[in-house]
Amino acid sequence: MKKVQLEIVGLSYSQTQSGAYALVLGESAGSRRLPIIIGGFEAQAIAIELEKMSPSRPLTHDLFRSFAEVFDINVTEVLIYNLVEGIFYAKLLCNDGSRDVEIDARTSDAIALAIRFKCPIYTYEFILKSAGIVLDDESSTPPEQEAEAKAETKPKSKEVATSGEKGEYKSKSTEELKGLLQNALDEEKYELASKIRDELNNRKKS
């Protein structure tokens, strides 16, 4: 089957499921997007590595990477190989220098590890045809939010962050937010760190 390489396009709070996040993958040589709803812990693990944050203690995915590196095991590829009733299935393709091994993994965990091992992410063409979407070129909506909105199958629910929290962050300076971000990381409050990071990223776009 034909494989298509993907890259991470965006990550944001889910507009449709409280407590979840929307991870959007896009084909490297095309305009289709693959939105995936993931849990908060996995979203934080992805965001922390993408933003090059330094948690005070290693997260589970960091521990997995260190363990693998000590025993000369490398993750060479992540493959999202199936989609059943809205659930994506993925596996890690690993190599220890003498043999290749495939390990089943949750898609969110697999992507968190792909970032850490700097390995490519692939899926099959039939999955993109089934669940992929094409974004509007002229839309001003962030790609992750537009992708999730187009793929939405459930009624919208409240965002994780309340309007009070958002207003509090907007009233602070960029330097204050950077200080709050570092404090959140030092105290291992990764969900809070993700919210502050999102506000900082929004300011970079404006």
Q: Quick: pLDDT tens for 76-97.
A: 999 999 999 889 999 999 999 9
Q: Which domain holds residue 70?
A: 3-159
Question: What is the rounded end-to-end Cα distance, in angstroms, of the chain?
Answer: 41
- In terms of DSSP bridges, do strands 20-27 and 3-13 run parallel, antiparallel, or are they unpaired? antiparallel
Q: Are residues 167 and 201 in the same domain?
A: yes
Q: Which residue has the higher pLDDT, 92 or 133?
A: 92
pLDDT classification of 7: cutoffs 50, 70, 90 = very high
- In terms of DSSP bridges, do strands 133-134 and 87-95 run parallel, antiparallel, or are they unpaired? unpaired
Question: What pLDDT was estimated at residue 162?
Answer: 38
Q: Are residues 129 and 169 in the same domain?
A: no
Any idea what the CATH number is for the domain that residue 149 is in?
Answer: 3.10.690.10
User: CB–CB of 113/64 below 8 Å?
Assistant: yes
Q: Which residue has the higher pLDDT, 98 or 179?
A: 98
pLDDT classification of 158: cutoffs 50, 70, 90 = very low
Q: Are residues 174 and 153 in the same domain?
A: no
Q: Are residues 112 and 184 in the same domain?
A: no
Average pLDDT over residues 156-177: 59
Q: 135: closest CA among 206, 34, 204, 36?
A: 34
